[in-house]
Structure 1
């Protein structure tokens, strides 16, 4: 039996308090993914940023996190997970202040990039520390569920909190709210959180770091470029270059003495299946969340804050079922729990076919809440199994693999499902004269009288058709993956965190 679960002992009260401290940076990283969407109109007016600069302000944070997660997870394994957590929090907090008082768009882009560097240390370090702090499998699963619910809660709280603050303060407040939260982390972290580092003396895999960045960053850029601007020579070249570098990265990792990514973990079918679930699950969830925001505002006519509030039922179910996912796994077994929750998420996605151009809001809220039940169990169990499959000295790197899959899945959801919905939207034009997006079409028809209203109604119907196709594509992919999980998990994971038979 692996040493980290050979003699489990119940966690002390101090350990659970440490978990509460670890939830703080996770909340911030998650909030900063979503809060900026509400602040962008004000930022554009204040800083007079171009369209290209606006995209970089939004995207550079995610680029840096996606590209550096694996590297930072490995660095934390070597120099100490508490140490890199606190260093990363300092970088994140300092960059937040720089962003709040940025004098121009270039300075804001640089500050957001620095926030991404700090954010990339917080997620794998906090998750790896949980694996060290909770040696009892059931308590570890519960702790990871709470960690997952904090991430989901941050994503939901971000737009609502941002909307409330922006009613009273200037746009920089959405960055400054990070500072008092991080102050609590600095005050309590050094005394509450344990330190853990690997004992390996092998040289750090610097070529692996370079190759991973050359693979992930151009790849994420290409995916986001396809989603926002369609196919372009620059995006195609970036995608091909990133793919080539990832192939070289895998070749190097298979031969490195101390690889950045232990490819032997992927020999475990359960580990591989869970990474695939993280990737596809976030692709489906991210794609439908992106389309739903447009649906609620541009089709149903709700304002930004009302749209954010309509997303709270899903956030509540994701958070709740992330926490109780370990109980679901003990009741049904990890295999059936994971396959069943993936199935529920897929069926709920397909259920978006029930939404039309004038559907009552409760239908959307019900469907998204049911989907949240599936996603909550999925994300918690996936994270638990992935972290539990790795030896203790590599749990930081393993958690980074999981989080990178989540991040790449979100980008793929925006690109693939967003592009699919756009293609259907444009194919339904039928001579109405649609612009490239629903929002642009509605702006063009505002002052055209009856003819404009007819075009606007047709554009809304076409957008809903596109959303339906994307929902079926994402949901259908999840259903196929549920079958794959059911087959792949016929054998027990090598180091499962959930202590029941598969």
Structure 2
């Protein structure tokens, strides 16, 4: 791993029986799968949800975005809170919040209620991710077992995001759109029933009280900045977007200055002094940006352009989901064999090539370009995401694992939110510039009232927007690959037990 220095020596975590440890990991994988699935499960549900609740274009984006925004804004805080009050305690509390919010979302009578429910799911999800990954350090004190467990964890996290649309498609084929939320309930009940018995409690008692001003500054900085960027991308740069984004920048600047002065900061900025760690975080950010845009736009393409139902569209997403899952399992081993820097460069480049292959996709042809391109991109995403998680956990002492994971997972969730907000909005701008269309392709087809010429033109405009958005995503991936190649250390160490 990166040679980030521990800030203090800590006693080794007590050994946990191997059988119990792997049973604990199985329980920890449940919330990971749910949280990552709920990032993407709505992609296929949006057309049917729109017909039922009739949300405006802005409400549609908030239904998709608010979940990721709140997770991104709260992950660092929840990681630190788990270090203090207990990682198992906050995991179970978060599961309860997530479950209640899922029920509200499933039966939401209006777009506003659904947005509020998705926000509460984001609050619950922010407690689940850092706690689950940080508990691995307690469950697996042996380096080899811990590295293997991290690989499995990452495979489920990355694979969950890729498999979300598939599960959504199967459910939508048989049930109404709310079923994509109700599927969370039995899984969370299993977690709440078995978690107290198979998961160890861990607190980092050396920490002082949680710095509440830092909590307020981190949330108050991230949300306005992301909203300002999103508003500018969707509506153009105006006074509102500039003022809101500047508020976010100012608050984040104050937040960073405060972290440098605190003995026990909410965000340990010393981790970023190591180029290897920074490259890993940057890779997760741009990787999730492009993956979110790719999954969202191709889900709409397969339904509204090619005319497939949700289940048929979901089946076509299986190759990418399988690629992400398989290569997440082997990413750390590949990183040890060929070097983390070379693996990051290859993974980011492969993801970029896969995105660029969507240029072969047209309104009436090119499905094989999508299948091959998305699969190649999935290989790259899987490799990169495993290394990110491995760096985040193994480069810090156990008592800082929660906050380090918070940084890593914030980059994932922020990348997802930015991918939908920026690249999704870019595709929408290109689409609307192609003619006098409604806000979305689905609305345009509805309002066309069977006019074949208008529908054909709208579909062509959407495909053009998809091409440009995924090309921008590929460009960002290539830029990050160049940074990884020339700005990171020649040798970023990877745990030799990883992937075994």
Same fold (TM over 0.5): yes
Q: How does 1:68-217 map to 2 (within 5 A)?
A: 68-102=74-108, 104-217=110-223
Q: After the TM superposition, which of the residue ranges 94-103 and 336-345 deviates more from structure 2?
A: 94-103
Aligned to 1:403: 409
Within 1, Cα distance between the matches of 2:304 and 2:182?
Answer: 30
- Number of aligned residue pairs: 492
Aligned to 2:343, which of 333, 337, 355? 337
Within 2, Cα distance between the matches of 1:136 and 1:286?
Answer: 34
Query: Is the alpha carbon distance of 1:271 and 1:180 closer, same or farther for their aligned partners in structure 2, counting shifts above 3 Å?
Result: same
Aligned to 2:353: 347
Query: Is the alpha carbon distance of 1:68 and 1:136 closer, same or farther for their aligned partners in structure 2, counting shifts above 3 Å?
Result: same
Query: Is the alpha carbon distance of 1:159 and 1:361 closer, same or farther for their aligned partners in structure 2, counting shifts above 3 Å?
Result: same
Structure 2: runs of 5 or more not aligned: none
Deviation at residue 343 of structure 1 after TM alignment:
1.6
Query: Is the alpha carbon distance of 1:464 and 1:175 closer, same or farther for their aligned partners in structure 2, counting shifts above 3 Å?
Result: closer
Within 2, Cα distance between the matches of 1:4 and 1:201?
Answer: 12
Within 2, Cα distance between the matches of 1:436 and 1:46?
Answer: 17
Aligned to 1:33: 39
- Secondary structure at 2:204 match in 1: coil
Q: TM-score, normalised by structure 1?
A: 0.88
Aligned to 1:13, which of 12, 19, 31? 19
Q: After the TM superposition, which of the residue ranges 461-470 and 16-25 deviates more from structure 2?
A: 461-470
Q: Does 1:239 align with 2:245?
A: yes
Aligned to 1:471: 470
Query: Is the alpha carbon distance of 1:132 and 1:328 closer, same or farther for their aligned partners in structure 2, counting shifts above 3 Å?
Result: same
Within 1, Cα distance between the matches of 2:358 and 2:103?
Answer: 40
Within 2, Cα distance between the matches of 1:75 and 1:151?
Answer: 22
Is the Cα–Cα contact under 8 Å of residues 140 and 497 in structure 1 kept in the other structure?
no
Within 1, Cα distance between the matches of 2:413 and 2:375?
Answer: 22
Within 2, Cα distance between the matches of 1:172 and 1:351?
Answer: 34
Deviation at residue 82 of structure 1 after TM alignment:
1.1
Within 1, Cα distance between the matches of 2:118 and 2:420?
Answer: 20
Q: How does 1:240-255 map to 2 (within 5 A)?
A: 240-255=246-261
Deviation at residue 127 of structure 1 after TM alignment:
0.8
Aligned to 1:371: 377
Query: Is the alpha carbon distance of 1:38 and 1:414 closer, same or farther for their aligned partners in structure 2, counting shifts above 3 Å?
Result: closer
Query: Is the alpha carbon distance of 1:339 and 1:401 closer, same or farther for their aligned partners in structure 2, counting shifts above 3 Å?
Result: same
Query: Is the alpha carbon distance of 1:10 and 1:99 closer, same or farther for their aligned partners in structure 2, counting shifts above 3 Å?
Result: closer
Is the Cα–Cα contact under 8 Å of residues 325 and 380 in structure 1 kept in the other structure?
yes
Deviation at residue 349 of structure 1 after TM alignment:
1.8
Within 2, Cα distance between the matches of 1:241 and 1:334?
Answer: 37
Q: After the TM superposition, which of the residue ranges 115-124 and 151-160 deviates more from structure 2?
A: 151-160
Query: Is the alpha carbon distance of 1:8 and 1:197 closer, same or farther for their aligned partners in structure 2, counting shifts above 3 Å?
Result: closer
Q: After the TM superposition, which of the residue ranges 461-470 and 19-28 deviates more from structure 2?
A: 461-470
Give the CA RMSD over aligned residues: 2.9
Aligned to 2:300: 294
Q: TM-score, normalised by structure 2?
A: 0.89
- Secondary structure at 2:261 match in 1: coil
Deviation at residue 70 of structure 1 after TM alignment:
0.8
Deviation at residue 481 of structure 1 after TM alignment:
1.6
Aligned to 2:289: 283
Aligned to 1:316: 322
Query: Is the alpha carbon distance of 1:468 and 1:161 closer, same or farther for their aligned partners in structure 2, counting shifts above 3 Å?
Result: closer
